[in-house]
Amino acid sequence: MLVTYAGDERTPFDRDHWIDVHFPLVRESWGPYGLVSAAGFFPQGDGAGLIAVGVVHFRDEAAMEAALQAPETARIMADVAIVTAVQPQRSVVQPL
């Protein structure tokens, strides 16, 4: 799953919190549901309107759906509000 945040250089986004607090929370919360890995990066250059991209890899689609429906997801989403006011967009990516 890709989690993208749209914006530009003026969009408030706490990079340190996102990397140092949010991703450990994601790993802890969704690990029991089949999370394989979670990481984030910040596009360089114009970023095509993106200020941050999270790559969240689950064992399979069923694991992803279970994690998204889990009670722990509310805590993850509440933490996003600490990072930024931008609403993240989720996209499911299937390997070829």
Chain centroid offset of residue 28 CA: 13
Name every residue whose Cβ is closer than 8 Å to that of residue 46 and which is 6 or more positions away in sequence.
none
Q: How far apart are CA 53 and CA 44, in angstroms?
A: 11
pLDDT, the chain, mean: 93
Question: Is the pLDDT at 94 greater than 60, yes or no?
Answer: yes
The pLDDT tens digits of the residues spanning 22-54 come to 999 999 999 999 999 999 999 986 656 899 999
